[in-house]
Structure 1
Amino acid sequence: MKPQNTSRAKAPRCRSFEVQDENTLMPFLLQVLHDQSRTAVKSFLAHKLVQVNNRVTTQFDTPLKPGDTVTVGMNKSAAPFHHPMLNLLYEDEHLLVVEKASGLLSMGTERDKTKTAYYILNNYLRNKDPRNHIFILHRLDRETSGIMMFAKSKKVQEILQKNWNDMIRERKYVAVVEGCPQPEQGQVKSYISENKALIVHATSSQDGKLAITNYTTLKSNRQFALVELELETGRKNQIRVHMQEIGHPVTGDPKYGATKNPLRRLALHAFKLDFIHPITGKNMKFETPIPAKFMTLFK
């Protein structure tokens, strides 16, 4: 009688596969790792040897969509990213897409150069290779949470910045505002500029830049409304200025007229980003849930 082999399945050399069609992880692994048994593939998952878009997963039913990258095997340079204020949504050789928590700066200031998304992600990439670097594409205010992306090369940064309005197909936010906007759906269109005190405000067309925000009320009560906001332009503090302009400032935003702060934070979250990949030309879509805190005001 042959002795049983109780050692775990030997992990293959680190190999990456691009997903072509919608699928779930286990069938996909069995297809691409046809030289491995089902038991071996389960072992790779159990021992955290499988990553989807550079994030370790042990779930056999993880959904996959075209363009996703599945990596199998040990690769020290692809160590999973973990940070309490940043969630890595997507990574490839050209881009990083993350969800930022409220309270974290997008990039450094004179006062704070390290507690920033830029610093944290730059360190993450440089730990893989000291030559790596990230490049700013856009910003979210410190107290705004949600989706943002960074380029991994100057070339990708330049392509996106030069073609921003054409390549960014959709950017949507959700906010809790004071009162209920009337009408419940509409557009705010004005010229805004920044004064010496670094406060953005409405101004004449000669002095400012055109800003356009579309809003739709999703829920409301006597005190607050949950609104979805879509940007047609990307001006600094645009949503905060426009909500103040129509008399319904974002809660937790005294700088722009708010008198209430029930959530102890600025109630603004970038929940959706849809763009054309600057290198592959693929349509990339990312969406995060509305923060649970926001919903507590409407129970």
Structure 2
Amino acid sequence: MIPKEHDGKIVQDYLMKEQGFSRRLLTRLKREPAHIHCNGEHIRMVDRLRQGDSLTVILTEPAHIPPNPELVVPIIYEDQDLIVFRKPAGMPVHPSILHYRDTLANFFSYHMQVQGIEATFRPINRLDRDTMGLCLAAKNALAAQKLCGRLEKEYTAIVCGILPEESGEIDAPIGREDGSLLKRTVRQDGQRSVTRYWVLERTEHYTTVKIQLLTGRTHQIRVHFSHLGFPLAGDGLYGGSTNDYRTQALCCNRLEFVHPVAGEVLDFRINIQEEWAAIQV
């Protein structure tokens, strides 16, 4: 419903200035006039809104990723604008030459197909294939635009060895390792990368840490803790022991953000002990 303070505003101005629509998205809506209504009837971008009007914008996009009904991924939350998955370890987010039908995108495509919805897969936080935990995807361009860069993320990891400090900050540039298409390393000509951590628990062979990323480089957490001499448990690529965990012990266990349409704060958390149990040898 249009509030009193926006009475008389032009539709285009209201969508851009108050709802965060981009010019590109508005241009697309102009080409799809059946997708925008006011009080149940078509309205033009140049028309004016009145207090109490009910403005409806329908955002649909064709799906291009093949659906796979054989995949199973827990869904933590879903509404018409976004979906929060609990991604398992070993599942890539995006399809590639080696992973064409076994990705989170393939599951998303199938899940949307079942509901009869056309939606492009737009992951907001991209987890590595072997990183498990909460993964947020937008169902339309507007939600993706308003969510991008606005997530509060918390990771938990188990590292090999006993970290002596209770907390710390790793500020070390990361770049691609020479001769490798996959592996990253700390190097002076790399991009600035900053990781903060807090110790949660110490056991005989491992330390569990809570992590906040101030930058988002490829393999950042894995590279930084390996650089410190405390590689992630289960992470054979960066020197971690695989005695007790079959893959890297790294999980995005918390996501907090403001809903792109409703404006309410959403805070999702998962039980980290269940995640560790899933990857133990």
Displacement of 1:130 in angstroms is 5.0
User: For residues 281 and 174 of structure 1, do their structure 2 counterparts lie closer, same or farther at Cα, with a shift above 3 Å needed?
Assistant: same
Tell which deviates more after alignment, 130-139 or 228-237. Answer: 130-139
Give SS of 1:209's match: coil
Measured in 2, the distance between the counterparts of 1:83 and 1:172 equals 30
Question: Do the aligned partners of 1:126 and 1:133 also contact (CA within 8 Å) in 2?
Answer: no
Displacement of 1:117 in angstroms is 0.7
Measured in 1, the distance between the counterparts of 2:230 and 2:253 equals 20
**Does residue 114 of the first structure (1) align with residue 98 of the second (2)?**
no
Measured in 2, the distance between the counterparts of 1:85 and 1:213 equals 32
Tell which deviates more after alignment, 112-121 or 192-201. Answer: 192-201
Which residue pairs with 1:239 in the alignment?
A: 221
Measured in 2, the distance between the counterparts of 1:291 and 1:84 equals 23
Unaligned runs of 5+ in 1: 1-81
- What is the TM-score of this pair, normalised by structure 2? 0.69
Measured in 1, the distance between the counterparts of 2:146 and 2:253 equals 24
Question: Do the aligned partners of 2:84 and 2:135 also contact (CA within 8 Å) in 1?
Answer: yes
Displacement of 1:152 in angstroms is 0.4
Which residue pairs with 2:247 in the alignment?
A: 265
User: For residues 110 and 84 of structure 1, do their structure 2 counterparts lie closer, same or farther at Cα, with a shift above 3 Å needed?
Assistant: closer
**Does residue 203 of the first structure (1) align with residue 157 of the second (2)?**
no
1:253-292 to 2 correspondence within 5 Å?
A: 253-292=235-274
Question: Do the aligned partners of 2:123 and 2:135 also contact (CA within 8 Å) in 1?
Answer: no
Letter in 1 for 2:227: E
Displacement of 1:83 in angstroms is 7.7
Displacement of 1:116 in angstroms is 0.6
Displacement of 1:129 in angstroms is 2.0
User: For residues 158 and 194 of structure 1, do their structure 2 counterparts lie closer, same or farther at Cα, with a shift above 3 Å needed?
Assistant: farther
Give SS of 1:172's match: strand
**Does residue 220 of the first structure (1) align with residue 196 of the second (2)?**
no
May I ask how many residue pairs the two structures share in their alignment? Answer: 209
Measured in 2, the distance between the counterparts of 1:85 and 1:182 equals 40
Which residue pairs with 1:90 in the alignment?
A: 77
**Does residue 149 of the first structure (1) align with residue 136 of the second (2)?**
yes
Unaligned runs of 5+ in 2: 1-68
Give SS of 1:122's match: helix
Which residue pairs with 2:59 in the alignment?
A: none
Which residue pairs with 2:40 in the alignment?
A: none
Displacement of 1:194 in angstroms is 2.3
Measured in 2, the distance between the counterparts of 1:105 and 1:173 equals 18
Measured in 2, the distance between the counterparts of 1:283 and 1:191 equals 33
| Aligned partner (choices 137, 160, 169) of residue 178 of structure 1 | 160
Letter in 1 for 2:253: F
Measured in 2, the distance between the counterparts of 1:236 and 1:281 equals 30
- Superposition RMSD on alpha carbons, in Å? 2.2
Displacement of 1:133 in angstroms is 3.0
Measured in 2, the distance between the counterparts of 1:180 and 1:119 equals 39
User: For residues 272 and 293 of structure 1, do their structure 2 counterparts lie closer, same or farther at Cα, with a shift above 3 Å needed?
Assistant: closer
Give SS of 1:86's match: coil
User: For residues 180 and 85 of structure 1, do their structure 2 counterparts lie closer, same or farther at Cα, with a shift above 3 Å needed?
Assistant: farther
